[in-house]
Amino acid sequence: MNTYRPLISWLLIGSQLLGCRDDQVAPQLPPETQVGQKTFGCLVNGKVWLPGGKIAAWRLGGQKSNLEVTTGLSPDCKSTYLQVHAQINQGEKWINFFKVGITQTGTYSLGVDSTSSVSYRGEELPVSCRDYYTDRRNSHGRIIEGELTLTRYDQVVAGRFSFVFVQPNCDTIRITDGRFDY
């Protein structure tokens, strides 16, 4: 039995070393597509942000997924709108933007004028800095640059987005490389 002890020890050590592989794949942004794949992703301060987790039912009628893209006639019935809402774990984190006056593919300002609103929530941030939003009536932070580029706008809505939020005494939130296909 003593002659097998070194062999058994080496086999145990070897099996432990083989078990130390890093099988976790870092999250990746979805590819930019225009076929209605119901995808969304962006970088938030350089880190991949993807919707997922538990689905919140905070909206009237309940929310069906962690990504919703809606289009329609604006409340004043004079123009059309686009709204994109993505969330993680029942709204612990979210990114939402709304733009009035969408009529075709192209590039539009986002959050820097009265035709759009943008919001971001990061549950991991200090309480006074969790919510960033700007719209025509209220703001908690300010967008210093924001852009929405629609690459398809018919039965499928797809595009790219980016914006930078600043708020006094809080970190700057940089949303870059955003893309969605719905």
pLDDT for res 77: 82
Residue 16, pLDDT score: 53
Statement: residue 7 has pLDDT above 70:
no
Q: What is the pLDDT of residue 91?
A: 73
Q: Is residue 163 part of a domain?
A: yes
Domain count, the chain: 1
pLDDT grade for 132, boundaries at 50, 70 and 90 = confident
Q: In angstroms, rounded to a whole number, what is the distance separating the alpha carbons of residues 165 and 161?
A: 13
In a domain, residue 173? The reply is: yes
In a domain, 14, yes or no: no
Residue 39 has pLDDT above 90, yes or no: yes
Given a cut of 90, whether residue 113 has pLDDT beyond it is no
**Domain, as residue range, for 73:** 24-181
User: What confidence score (pLDDT) does residue 57 get?
Assistant: 56
Neighbours of 151 (CB within 10 A): 18
Residue 137 has pLDDT above 80, yes or no: no
- The answer to the question of residue 5 being in a domain is no
Collapsed DSSP state (helix, strand, coil) of residue 11:
helix
Would 56 be classed as within a structural domain? yes
What would the pLDDT profile of 147-171 be if each residue is shown by its tens digit?
A: 999 999 999 999 999 999 988 899 9
Contacts of 110 (CB under 8 A, 6+ apart): 97, 99, 116, 118, 143, 146, 147, 148, 161, 163
Under the banding of pLDDT at 50, 70 and 90, the label for residue 3 is low
Give CA–CA dist 32/24, Å, rounded: 23
Whether the per-residue pLDDT at 21 is higher than 90: the answer is no
In a domain, 15, yes or no: no
Does residue 122 register a pLDDT over 50? yes
The residue-averaged pLDDT of 33-38 equals 96
Per-residue b/e over 111-128, b at no fewer than 16 CB within 10 Å?
bbeebbbbbbbbeebeee
List the structure tokens of 19: 């078990």
Task: Decide if 16 is inside a domain.
Answer: no
% of the chain with per-residue pLDDT over 70: 79
1 located within any domain: no
Tens digit of each residue's pLDDT (9 = 90 or more) over 51-96: 998 775 555 455 568 899 999 987 778 889 999 999 988 778 999 9
Give the pLDDT of residue 4. 54
* Mean pLDDT taken over the chain: 83
